[in-house]
Structure formats: C-alpha cells, structure tokens
Amino acid sequence: MKRIQRIFPDISSTIFGAAFIAVGLYLILMTAYVNAGLGSIFIGIFTIMVMTGGTVDEETAVSALKSDVDTLDGLLEDLGISGDLVQVPPSDTLSEGKTYVPAEDFQGLPDLQDDMVVVSAAGGRVGVSLTPPGLHLMKLAQENLEGPVDGIEGAREVMGILTHGIGLAGSYSIREEDGIFKMRITHDGYNDYCDSLRERDERICTRTACPLCSAYIATAAQYIDSPLRVINFGKEDKHVTYEMEVVE
C-alpha cells in the first residue's frame, strides 16, 4: 500500500473546531464563564474556516495539529478536567465513538449521548464527552478495508492501515493479557511532534491523546466493542505504550 506523503489538516481541525464551539456555547448559556465561552467559539470558528480544505505539506499540517491539541488541552485545563480518558465505542445512544474524560478520578461511565459535551449528574459536573481527535484518521483507514472485520483482529487490520498505509507510525502491536489490552506504537516521522506535545503537558497523552494515538485508541475500542479506560501510559525513545482496561 502506497504511503500517503501529504495529509489533510481538516481531518482534525473540523473536529476540534466543532468541539470548541460546543463547549463555548455551553459556557455562555449554562455558566458564568462568558469570556471563556466567547474565546472558545472564536477559536472554533477560526479553526474550521482557516485550517480546513486542501492539502498541505507534512510540516505545515503537523504545526496545525499541534496548535489544535495545545488549544484543546488548555481549554480542558481551564475547565478543571484532569482525569484519564475512556474511549467509548458506538452504541444505541452514540452514532459515533466518543472520548469521555472525567473531571477528576474515574467514578464510572455515565450514559453518553450524541448531543452531550459537558456531562453532569446530580452531584454536579462529572466530565466531558468529546469527538476523538483521531476519529477521522480511523475513518480514513476504514475506507481502505477490503471487507468487514471485527474483534481484536479487526483492530489490528485497521491499525495496520494507519501504520503502513497512512504512515502514522513505524510499527504497532496490541494484545490482551490478563484482561488488560496492551498497545505499543513506535513513532517514525512524528516522534518530534509527540515529544513537543509532551513538553507542554504530559497529560495530553492520557487526557485526550493526540490525533495520532487517538486514532489507534478509537480503533481498539470500536473493534473490541467495549469502552476502554487508560490505566497506564509510558514513553521511551520512540515507543509509546498504553494499557487499557474494559469498563463494564
């Protein structure tokens, strides 16, 4: 399979732009953070209008992706969202997978629906439900599938396209061990991008993940067909490792 040399900034920018607008509307309508809400809406509109459409060279696209991740991470920080992500696959109430990030420690997975962004319960805000940053990368890989696949083997097939077709990584592996799914991604050309994000905030990798790792995590949850919660993360040289448990 021919490796893609030029990538589309709108793959992630449309996702981030829509998320910023949704969060901004919530802040204006439901909280006292009007200025933060207006700022979020402005960022969303700017991201969608300026960063989408057409192809650009890889260096420019990476710069755009980094800017989007930094802005989303800063917004979650301002909102006090500090938990580790749970990747939720499509279901009867979700037309597409979601990345659920609890406000603090994980206290169980709430009932998520498509129109939810800020998730609240009787005791107050419990987290946020976001479109996975890597969702459109996963969909791009799925377009190259030759037939229906499912289970962990299906996840491996899609991850193979992400790796060798789209060129997101040099190699990957995923396996189940004692009920824990262990995934390893070895970066190739995007290792500097990964390191630059972690220099800003190491929690990016576990709070939402960048678009690249998010594509692999979203793939794992969708084909295993269970919500997966990140319980451990590691980065050594070019190797990124995630350990994820199934949320019942």
Which pLDDT score is estimated for 106? 92
Which residue bears the tokens 């996840």? 155
For the chain, first and last CA: distance in Å?
Answer: 37
Weakly modelled stretches of the chain, pLDDT under 50: 2, 4-9, 49-57, 60
Considering only CA atoms, give the Rg of the chain.
Answer: 17
> Helices (DSSP H) in the chain: which residue ranges?
10-30, 34-51, 58-78, 135-142, 151-160, 191-200, 204-207, 211-224
Distance separating alpha carbons of residues 208 and 101, to the nearest angstrom? 7
Q: Measure Cα distances from 136 to 23, 126, 214 in Å.
A: 20, 26, 10
pTM: predicted TM-score of the whole model, two decimal places:
0.77
- Give the residue from 172, 186, 174 showing the smallest Cα distance to 238: 186
pLDDT tens column, 197-246: 888 888 899 999 988 999 999 999 999 999 999 999 999 989 999 999 99
- The DSSP secondary-structure symbol of 105 reads S
Apex CA 12: angle with CA 6 and CA 18, to 5°?
150
